[in-house]
Amino acid sequence: MVLSNAWQVAAVLLVGWAGAASSVAQQPGFAAPQLLLRESAAGMPKGDMQEVRVMTASFKPGDRTVFHTHRSPVTVYVLEGQFTLELEGRAPIVVQAGQAYVEPPNVKMTGFNRSATQPLHVVIFYVSDPDTPFLDSIR
């Protein structure tokens, strides 16, 4: 999926700021990160090496993901729109623009853009053992 330059810049800035310490004081002329989400997650890979993936996804109005699971936690940050997640055995979750959510591993789920008119743009952060599939589709 190809995003506009503005979305690509936003994704790069978000990733760059995510690695900075959240305790940096705002000084004139310097950007400081702002903590959006802090959550302990079970199911993180434990090998000597991990693979970090940062992906973008664009959903047209009404688009959805396949029904799937992830082997490691997945963090989704919504740039634009509303992302509705349906996780098996749980109430639907709506993640708004500017919010992040950690999808748990090994939970059957699907995600939607429920809007009839607005697009949805997300940045996805995934840490896994090298060459692990991003998702496992459930048929």
Q: What is the torsional sign of CA 54, 67, 73, 83?
A: positive
- As a whole number of Å, the end-to-end CA separation of the chain is 24
User: What domains, with CATH codes, occur in the chain?
Assistant: 36-137 (2.60.120.10)
The reported pTM is: 0.79
Mean pLDDT of successive 10-residue stretches along the chain, which has 139 residues: 44 47 66 91 93 98 97 98 97 97 97 98 97 94
